Amino acid sequence: MAAKSKILIVGGTGYIGKFVVEASAKSGHPTFALVRESTLSDPAKWKIIEGFKSLGVIIVLGDLHDHEGLVKAIKQVDVVISTVGGMLLGDQTKLIAAIKEAGNVKRFLPSEFGNDVDRLNCVEPAKSMLSVKVTIRRLIEAEGIPYTYVSSNFFAGYFLPTLAQPGVSAPPRDKVIIMGDGNPRETPFPGNVLMALGHSVFVKGDHTNFEIEESFGVEASALYPDVKYTTVEEYLSHFA
């Protein structure tokens, strides 16, 4: 039996990253998690890191701004997965430079997990906000680094069942909250971005406007046929 690939996850203590680290370790891959030294002093993150250690994950101290440390960490693995958050997407250029110098990586997965930014019909200002992912894709390709782009279509399954009403457990029956009622609430980024992203989730054709070509892509349902998938049409039929 071939040896399992050694995997390095960058951004592993984040919202998505911690699940990727856990899945990698539980799948039997020698798993490394790049962690900033300052993260060790965060009680919440420390708990996550201790959980990693219990799974046999190797903690590597470093960050995207330490080129020498990045190269050293990357030389220990076969696959690099980035799960950095939105504010650090542009800094993946540093990770790409380190991967290029190390010269041993068989596969790089940049931080994607949302829309297929090369085919998205997203409206502004979300379109401009997502352009950094396009830039990162083109740089990876220009450097000749083997890659996989994982597009989960915005995790739309999180929003569709309840018609984008966070916090409820079933489709709304009596009312639907619509943005712009005169009582603005705090949001981590501008409301017009939220509206543009919501448009991308609910407007038919924004995510299903292309066929996946077998020469370079594969549908997740083909990879995991035992998983029951719900289509956008099935979700939205509840509100017809």
Between CA 149 and CA 220, with CA 26 as vertex, the angle to 5 degrees is: 35
- For 138, the token pair is 């083109």
Question: How many whole angstroms from its chain centre is CA 149?
Answer: 9
DSSP string, 81-136: EE---GGGSTTHHHHHHHHHHH---SEEE-S--S--TTT--PPTTHHHHTHHHHHH
- Would you call the peptide bond into 146 cis, given omega within 30 degrees of 0 as the criterion? no
Is 75 noted as a catalytic residue in this protein? no
CB contact at 8 A, 115 and 203: no
7-10, strands of its sheet edge to edge: 58-61, 31-35, 7-10, 79-82, 107-109
Instruction: Residue 126: count other Cβ atoms within 10 Å of its Cβ.
Output: 21
Active-site entry in 133, 175, 204, 228: 133
CA–CA distance, 24 with 5 (Å, rounded to integer)? 10
Catalytic center residues:
133
